[in-house]
Amino acid sequence: MMMSDVMRIFIPTTIAFLFGIGITPFLAHFLYQRKMWKPKAGKVAFDGTPAETFNRLHESRDSGTPRFGGVVVWGSVLLTAGLLSILSVLFPDAFGALSFISRNQTWVPLAALVAGALVGLLDDLFEVKGKSGLPLRIRLLIVAAIALLCAWWFYEKLGVSAISFPFLLQPVSLGVWFIPFFVLVALFIYAGGVIDGIDGLAGGIFSTIFAAYAGIAFFQNQMDIAALSGAIAGGLLAFLWFNIPPARFYLSETGTMGLTLALVVIAFLTDTLDGGRGITVLPIIALPLVATVASNVLQILSKKRFGKKILKIAPLHHHFEAIGWPAYKVTMRYWIVGVLAAIIGMSVALL
């Protein structure tokens, strides 16, 4: 029985990886043929001034490499979900157990993934047209709106209004405050999406995070969530195959917005619904994302309060580049930290 359950995770993961590998040559040809990258290199800091250090480090890479790499991830996940659903209907005896689309477990994270991916796709389209993408405040409002709908679903439809903590016998009830808490978590994790700034970094970090949640859901017998998380990890590994230096394309907003929203929903689904601690361990498992947001916040506060920066450039991974670390060293060390954080987070979740 255990082997059968494991295959329910490994098969979707493998299929998603193969779909991602299969569609990438066609996507890459399309993106390069139409020059789907930023027409002008460089980026603007939060205060509206040019990000000089970042632009110096990335000027040669920022233009000429397509965006839209996230299509590989969510496209392979949707193709996998659709294929297994069709096969489960046509051949229920052989494939019935492999379909992971279910109302009580995966409808909401899949909806969040698709909604975020489509909005991010629009932002990427604006970027390649030279219109600087959707303004940050608009993206934050959209993320908050999607998160609000998901939070309402949890609170009203699933009856979730509490979160669990390790070593506490009873979950902590938040009441109606569960809804704004959900939205704040979504905004925080979305802000960590700017980790997509060095070849191979985001793909490795996100694949580790979703693999960890696949493991948590598996041990909590939430098999559809585990299969979906595994499929996302598989799609990310396919993306990573082509994103290691030199990157064929970037994950960009269509990847990071969809992934961060799906991650938050999965974290809440693996929490009190099945007696888990999915949301409590999110800061541990997603430590690289947390460090990214924290470094940005501290940099801004230091500049406003003391008039000086605490890092050469924020977020933290670019600071390491600025002090002389090669990009590949930053990426690989982040991968190591990400794997260790995932192992610790899973261990705490399963206590």
Per residue in 105-138, pLDDT (tens digit) is 999 999 999 999 999 999 999 999 887 789 999 9
Contacts of 270 (CB under 8 A, 6+ apart): 213, 216, 217, 220, 222, 225, 276, 278, 279, 349
Helix residue ranges, H only, 198-286? 201-219, 223-243, 252-269, 282-285
Contacts of 59 (CB under 8 A, 6+ apart): 41, 42
Mean of the per-residue pLDDT values of the chain: 91
> Which of 182-186, 206-210, 302-306 shows the lowest per-residue confidence on average (mean pLDDT)?
302-306
Predicted pLDDT of residue 48: 53
Name the pLDDT band for 40 (thresholds 50, 70, 90): confident
Name the pLDDT band for 44 (thresholds 50, 70, 90): low
Name the pLDDT band for 3 (thresholds 50, 70, 90): low
Structure pTM?
A: 0.94
Cα dihedral 48, 118, 122, 180 in deg (nearest 10): -30
CB atoms within 10 A of CB 39: 11
Residue type present at position 91: F
Domain positions in the chain: 2-349
Angle between helices 136-152 and 178-191 in degrees, nearest 10: 140
Give the angle 28-32-37 at the CA atoms, nearest 5°. Answer: 105
The answer, yes or no, to whether residue 24 has pLDDT greater than 80, is yes
The answer, yes or no, to whether residue 275 has pLDDT greater than 70, is yes
Residue type present at position 277: R
Predicted pLDDT of residue 38: 84
DSSP bridge pairs for 163: 172
